[in-house]
Structure 1
């Protein structure tokens, strides 16, 4: 929202009511408020408007009037502004203004009229730059044959630059000079009164208003957005990246892998040897018992059959038994036994 003291041209129809302005066609002193659509606008309260009876009126260009708020001990919003008027200790605040809120506002309190307030609402274009870059805020309007009196750039109620259309002289606002703000030198021929803001800073953000006083008045607005550049060191701290591997890292990685693999192989071999030894020992023990058992049986067979014959040989037929005895005798004789 921007607040300025300027002459306001008004045209109001005649009416005998106390609630409307008296008939006149001329210049009166008033305030100019420039605001972007969606902003809140503040209307200061005088001492007479803080108690008693009164109203805040909106005078439209067709001559009609709307009651924005009324005072009867306490301020209350009008029908067309329900839930949009906030009352503070020293002002009425109109919330979320739009293009239909443009017009002349007037307080009438204790039957006294206050000076007019001209509210102008803009839908600003946007310009986005990075911190440190130059920003160009557009303001273009017909200048040839328009008898340009002046052109002004403002922000937050402060004058940045004012151009005298007749002398071409430029006046700079407090804290600004030609090294920070400028308009094209050929503005009159090119119909270009755009503002160049050099080395934009974060504090430069906001809505900028261009006013050209000429035969056909021109007013426009531009919203400047300045992106903050985060230093690389801060970015690194916020989002740390893994440190690069040193040349020794691959060597140590393979060495660790080989040592681990060798350890597993050694443990596996030891387990296999222990298991194999235990298995063979148990098999050998079982085989010894079997051999001893068979040897005992053979000895018994020899003692029962004369020392050389088996049980199966003795269990044959009679003739075989007889031949066997003769064979035994012959064998004894051959071995020196009689």
Structure 2
């Protein structure tokens, strides 16, 4: 099982082989392809170190390549030499007795970047452009073309699947910022990215030399199918995002207060005006409880319009 997993990692890793040049990200496996065709007994692959010293990496014996001292934990017997992992100290020239031309191994450090699926992301790359004539910038992922711009003609080419999604910052040739900007990322964008600058006729790597992009995929419950454009709504200095409700509440309180005050004022004005109702109430209080008419008042004779009655003495 571990052999299948290792083979998968080896095939998907970001190392690039071009003739006698191998480029690999630190920590990734690397295979020396020339060793497969070198099946001579006691053939050797050695790493040329400083001080004109050679360190044995592997020796071909009994039909297989066997690891040399110090490589047993990173290599097993096989038909070719493959290191399961690489160290930064593995960088340098490698000599194979079957080949006259040495192989240059370049172990590239990288930084890890993480982005959420269908969200913007930036993979950083910088280069000192002061006093240099930068001709072009090229981005690759796992050795495949992603983006390239030629500044003389301003011609831009994009790799398959990256159309309309990647670009460089404005005035990148002036600022030296050649970072790759994603409008949104997809799960298939994960991998090792490298930035190459062609300046004064020489091809160089930017800084950082490489980046490993990891993409956090959406959960199954999410239904987003396309990136949403950023909102263009502008907020004023006093806008808290609460909407018109504070104004509605304030107006309601003011109207209620004015209505209450007006009611009290109207009541106080009406209480000072005499009405006939009060006289009627006083008159009703004078009525006897049994419903009989009230007694007539004692009037002096002749007041009621009749002549006085002479009573016999």
Q: Which residue of structure 1 aligns with residue 229 of structure 2?
A: none
Among 7, 22, 39, the alignment partner of 1:32 is 22
Larger radius of gyration: 1
Q: Does 1:148 align with 2:138?
A: no
1:102 matched residue in structure 2 = 91
Higher relative contact order (CA 8 A, sep 6+): 2
* 2:103 pairs with 1:124: no
Does the Cα contact within 8 Å between 2:35 and 2:81 map onto a contact in 1?
A: no
CA displacement at 1:181 relative to structure 2: 2.0
Question: 1: distance between equivalents of 2:72 and 2:112?
Answer: 31
- The aligned residue for residue 185 of structure 2 is 200
Name the residue aligned to 2:41. 52
CA distance in 2, matches of 1:57, 1:141: 34
Under a length normalisation based on structure 2, what TM-score does the superposition of the two structures give? Answer: 0.58
Note the residue ranges of structure 1 that are not aligned, 5 or more in a row.
Answer: 6-28, 235-338
**CA distance in structure 2 between the aligned counterparts of 1:98 and 1:141, rounded to whole angstroms:** 25
Q: Tell me the TM-score normalized by structure 1.
A: 0.54
| Aligned counterpart, 1:76 | 66
Distance 1:172 1:60, change over 3 A: farther
Work out the CA distance in 2 between the residues paired with 1:49 and 1:140. Answer: 41
Match of 2:159 in 1: 173
Match of 1:157 in 2: 143
Structural RMSD (CA): 2.7
Which one of 196, 199, 210 corresponds to residue 195 of structure 2? Answer: 210
1:223-242 alignment runs, 5 A limit: 223-232=212-221
Alignment: residue pair count: 205
Q: Are the aligned partners of 2:112 and 2:212 in contact in 1 as well (CA < 8 Å)?
A: yes
Name the structure where helix makes up a greater proportion of residues: 1
SS in 1 for 2:174: helix
Does the C-alpha gap of structure 1 residues 104 and 167 become closer, same or farther in structure 2, counting only changes over 3 Å?
farther
Tell me, yes or no, if the aligned pair for 1:61 and 1:103 is still in contact at 8 Å.
no
SS of the residue corresponding to residue 203 of structure 1 reads helix
